Structure 1
Amino acid sequence: MRWVSLTAVAPVAWGTNYFVTHEFLPADSPLYGSALRALPAGLVLLALCRRLPRGAWWWRSAALGLLNVGVFFVLVYAASQLLPTSLASTVMALSPLAMMLIAWALVSERPGVAHLAGAAIGLGGVCLMLLTGVEGVSVPGVLASVAAMLVSSFGHILTKRWSAGTDVLACTAWQLTAGGLFLLPAAAVVEGSPPALSASALLAFGYAALVATALAFAAWFAGLRRLPSGTVGLIGLLNPVTGVLLGTVIAKEVLTAQQLCGLVLVLAGVLLGGPARAGRRGSRRTTSQPASGETPPRSEEDPARSGDGAARGPSVREPS
């Protein structure tokens, strides 16, 4: 539950960022808006971890920065400006299914029955929130949100596959810095000079960079390392819940009875496929006997082979 609580910081922060972007950031500068969100966050984390990439992590940081930051931030920025806060964040709730399927293909994590059931119930809740009969929904905005969901799901699973043994803070800093460095020259070429920013816009960029980016991505990638991808994906359903609640309470968007039922279903999906059940099943699989012909792995991290340390659990910690 500790890791689930930490991971939940990310989708809640991202859900609030839809509102912040929609209300306070310049609508016609998605590239500059994304660069000013990513680069300061990456530099702050880089100053904290004080570590540069080595070896393959130079090109990995570039690839992940392009997916998880460069392309993703621009698509989310566009969706936030073209759609109401509740609708823009709701589309992202399709990510649990996408993450489960991609994780199955890339890191051989077969989704459990509880994960699939939770994702299906959450998807039903999303449909209730989305299909309200509201006219004038921006098709480009919906397409941008769907594309952002697919790009981020693929990038997050790649991060999970590549980042084993790498410091979470450093890995996050490298991606955000690389993505910001991609975005800044692209913004200068496409959008010209930077937009003039009011005091409220500067505060909004500070929130987007430090809370919705630096803190949120560090928490998310830490959760991806510690928890199954299906569980992390379901925790991500808190993103649309936060977006809908903010859109209703602060932006005065109308929340119907149908949308309330959808919110309840989304939360039920998170609980059904959530940490306790999935974690117990994962623990049983980890401690079960190996199949015939297999040799059980011997490593420092196996508490069952660590002498009297077995009673206290694993003593190996992540590299600082």
Structure 2
Amino acid sequence: MKSGRQLLTAGVTALAPAIWGSTYLVTTEWLPPDRPLLAATVRALPAGLILLAFACTLPTGIWLWRSLVLGTLNIGAFLFLLFVAAYRLPGGIAAVIMTAQPMFVLILAALFIGEKTRLLHVVACALGTGGVVLLVFKGTVALDFIGVVAALGGAACMATGITMTKRWGRPAGVGLLPFTGWQLVAGGLVLLPFTLSIEGLPTTLTGTNVLGFAYLISLGAVISYAIWFRGMERLPALAVSFLALASPIVATLLGYLFLHEALSILQLVGILVIIAAALLAQPRPTEPRTLGPTATAGIR
């Protein structure tokens, strides 16, 4: 029974990166072209402000700087580095490098929150990387040094964000939605000066653009990040990190369905390998859940 609940929690949590996988299609088809930082900022900052307006709860004391740290790691710096990598590397190369993230979590979780490292976890990391290679990697290309560093930095940011979210939990009496809002606002504020200085604001927006931004704010941020942080509270850090691999799976499938991109047998095998890796990384029935020190407080 416990194993079934854990798999259900993992399945619900995987909805968040699945939604993020759909944002590639939304961005290319519905948003103004060549404005990735604008898309990231609009995705994070308004969503966070909406959550805070409903929750009417602001961070205080130690949670002022903790929220800034978590928001920067989980959202602001991660999205910025992700877009730098996407611009300077082919998408397949960037995705493969980002699969270093579960390995980073494996190390950080052992050091900072006491999660045990098992051979099965190492095998899952190898399988996950192999699955993403089959899914998205095409041919041999020259590597851009800055792009590679950015991709590795993005993976490290996400891994550190997952680990520190597990370590700190959330403050007693604070619900999941305001906790999510704190991080979205912090991440959006980190992105805002880069957006204004590098891209600026668009002079015109179409109805399709507005619809795309509404999708990013609602499903792409408010709902998906609330689901994601809920999963972080209830699953081990490594198990959560593998669920992020649902994003390239969904992006590939949507590209096939709506953009008429090819889908080969090897890519289908890659999808199955990624799913197998994610299942291997999920906790066994005898493994205790690892929560942050206050993660059980105020869960609702």
TM range, normalised to the smaller chain? 0.7 to 0.9
Kept in 2, the 8 Å contact 1:90–1:129? The answer is: no
TM-score normalised by L of structure 1: 0.78
Residue 122 of structure 2, aligned match among 116, 119, 137: 116
1:318 alignment counterpart: 298
Give yes or no for contact 2:52–2:182 (8 Å, CA) kept in 1.
yes
Which amino acid in the other structure matches residue 298 of structure 2? E
Superimposed CA distance per residue, residues 25-54 of structure 1 (whole angstroms, 9 cap, x where no aligned partner): 334333322211111110122123221101
Matches within 5 A, 1:60-75: 60-75=66-81
Give the AA of the match of 1:250.
F
For residues 156 and 97 of structure 1, the distance between their equivalents in structure 2, rounded to whole angstroms, comes to: 12
Q: 2:100 aligns with which of 89, 94, 103?
A: 94
**TM-score (norm. length: structure 2):** 0.83
Note closer, same or farther for the CA distance 1:265–1:113 as it changes in structure 2 (3 Å cut): same
Write the letter of the residue equivalent to 1:222.
Answer: R
> What amino acid is aligned across from residue 282 of structure 1 in structure 2?
E
Query: Is 1:223 the counterpart of 2:231 in the alignment?
Result: yes
In structure 2, how many angstroms separate the alpha carbons of the residues matched to 1:54 and 1:73?
Answer: 26
Q: Which residue of 2 aligns with 1:294?
A: none
| Superposed displacement of residue 62, structure 1 | 1.5
Q: State the Cα distance separating 1:229 from its structure 2 match.
A: 0.9
Identity %: 36
1:52-63 equivalent positions in 2, closer than 5 A: 52-63=58-69
The 8 Å contact of residues 66 and 178 in structure 1, kept in 2 or not, is answered as: yes
9, 18, 22: which is aligned to 2:28? 22
Select the structure of larger CA radius of gyration: 1
- Equivalent residue, structure 1, for 2:259: 251
Query: Does residue 44 of structure 1 match 2:50?
Result: yes
Question: Shift of the alpha carbon at 1:92?
Answer: 3.6
Question: Alpha-carbon deviations, 1:208-236, whole Å to 9, x = none?
Answer: 12112121111111111111111112222
User: What are structure 1's unaligned runs of at least 5 residues?
Assistant: 287-300, 302-315
SS of the residue 2:279 aligns to = helix
- Partners of 1:282 and 1:42 lie apart in 2 by 34
The 1:19–1:147 alpha-carbon spacing in structure 2 relative to 1, beyond 3 Å, is farther
Change (3 A) 1:15 1:141: farther
1:239 to 247, 250, 257: 247
SS at match of 2:273: helix
Q: 1:74 to 1:26 in 2, by over 3 A?
A: farther
Distance 1:93 1:14 in 2: 16
Once the two structures are superposed, the pairs formed by residues 118-197 of structure 1 within 5 Å of their partners are 118-133=124-139, 144-164=150-170, 165=172, 166-197=174-205
Q: CA shift at 1:57, angstroms?
A: 0.7
The answer to whether the 8 A contact 1:22-1:81 is kept is no
Report the CA distance shift for 1:186/1:236 in structure 2 as closer, same or farther (over 3 A).
Answer: closer
Identify if the C-alpha distance between structure 1 residues 195 and 259 changes in structure 2 by more than 3 Å, giving closer, same or farther. farther
Residue 79 and residue 248 in structure 1: after superposition, are their counterparts in 2 closer, same or farther (change >3 A)?
Answer: farther
8 Å Cα contact 1:10/1:217 also seen in 2: yes
Give the alignment's Cα RMSD to 1 decimal.
Answer: 2.9
2:4 match: none
Which sections of structure 2, spanning at least 5 residues, go unmatched? Answer: 1-6
Change (3 A) 1:11 1:87: farther
Quote how far apart the aligned CAs of 1:256 are: 2.3
User: Which of the residues 245, 269, 286 maps onto 1:281?
Assistant: 286
Aligned length: 288
Partner Cα distance (1:142, 1:24) in 2: 28
CA distance in 1, matches of 2:90, 2:257: 13
Aligned-partner Cα distance in 1 for 2:33–2:153: 19
Residue among 4, 9, 12 paired with 1:3: 9
